[in-house]
Amino acid sequence: MKQAVKVTKLHFSYGENEILHGINFQVTKGKIATLIGNTGGGKTSLVKLLIGLEEGEGEIELLGKKVEELSTSDKQSIRVVFANSYQEIRTKTVKNALVLSLKNLNLKKEEINQYIDDIVTLFKMDDLLSKNPKELTKEEASIVAIATALVTKPQILFLDDAFIHMGAIVKKRIFRILKQLNRKKHMTIFNVTHDINEILNGDYVILLYQGKVVLKGEVEDVIKSEKILKKYHYELPFMAELSDKLRYYNVIEETILDMNRMVNTIWK
């Protein structure tokens, strides 16, 4: 089984409005895919379909199985975090939220503690554990929402604008953790966002516009598709554009997408 996500001829409507018009794409297992798309273009509907919260026409396969045939234990390895997931943490403490998240895994008590320890170490969130989620800032609560999803050690993580309440530094830190899990545990990540710069954090890009997939491909190919991105009102990511222009003027020789490396290359 090579594909973590496989979507074939997927249609979806709200009443008479068709939101998704027969879309196709695949995400290889262990990759980070970034989905960008226009306001009202069907991004959140798509995520809801992928995790079985909505039903459409067509076929969705996760980890090689049709989404409607996933067993309860299969579902444990698929997690989602929405922009407002932080509001749905209703336990008395953050620790309880983590315990609750593990309840369907049938773990022994020691195992539960081990799983929680692992995530707390990874997120360095000891100080949050005994807090009441209601007392957290949105930024802290959004971190907890992601930690609650990751504590179960999922194989696929869907993120729908999950970083929207995080400042730049925190967002970078959390993404570094996600990348680490992606590399070491081969967790597949499906990140839905508005920020074109985020595609540089991943391997694969899908551009959804008015319910159709208008561009898909590896990151290095997508950043060469400036014309198509422009057609759908997206600029190139800043570093991709800068790199392009500096190569054109022979200031640098190869594409450089890391800012520090770029500065060190220009001023050797």
Partner 1 sequence: MEIRLEHVSSFDQISSLQDISEEFSANKVYGIIGKSGSGKSHFGKILAGRQPLQQGQIYYDNLLIQPISNHEQYLEIQKKVGYVAEDLDFIMATVFEELAKKIKEQHYRESELEKRVFDALKMVGLSHTFIDRNPRTLSTGEQRKLALAKALICNPKVVVLDEPSFGFDPFEQKKLIKLVRMLKTRYHKIVIIISNDLDFLLPVVDQILVMEDGKVKMNQTKYQVLKATRKLKNMGIQVPKMIEFSDIVLKKKKIKMGYRDQMNDLIKDIYRYAEWGCHNQHHDN
Beta bridge partners of 206: 35, 216
Q: Return the residue of 55, 135, 218, 220 that touches partner 1, per CB under 8 A.
A: 135
Side-chain half-sphere CA neighbours of 216 within 13 A: 15
The Cα–Cα gap between 149 and 213 comes to: 28
Residue 260, classified by CB atoms within 10 Å of its CB into exposed (0-12), middle (13-18) or buried (19+), is exposed
Q: Does residue 164 bind partner 1 (CB under 8 A)?
A: yes
DSSP summary character for residue 153 = -
Q: How far is the CB of 168 from partner 1 (least distance, A)?
A: 4
Residue 57 CA, distance from chain mean position: 24
Q: Is 106 helix (H, G, I), strand (E, B) or coil?
A: coil
Q: Does residue 85 bind partner 1 (CB under 8 A)?
A: no
Binding mask of the shown chain, residues 190 to 229, with x at each position contacting partner 1 by CB under 8 A: ----x-xx--------------------------------
The Cα–Cα gap between 262 and 150 comes to: 33
Q: Does residue 184 bind partner 1 (CB under 8 A)?
A: no
Residue 71 CA, distance from chain mean position: 23
Q: Does residue 38 bind partner 1 (CB under 8 A)?
A: yes
Do the bridges between strand 204-209 and strand 32-37 make them parallel or antiparallel, or are there none, so unpaired? parallel
Count of chain residues binding partner 1 (CB under 8 A): 51
Q: Does residue 54 bind partner 1 (CB under 8 A)?
A: no
Beta bridge partners of 59: 8
94-133 residues in contact with partner 1 (CB under 8 A) are none
Q: Return the residue of 8, 90, 124, 251 that touches partner 1, per CB under 8 A.
A: 251
Stretch that binds partner 1, among 63-71, 150-158, 215-223, 257-265 (CB under 8 A): 257-265
Please give the residue ranges that form the binding site for partner 1 (CB under 8 A). 14, 36-41, 43-45, 83-84, 87, 134-140, 161, 164-171, 194, 196-197, 232-235, 238-239, 241-242, 245-246, 249, 251, 259-260, 262-264, 266-267
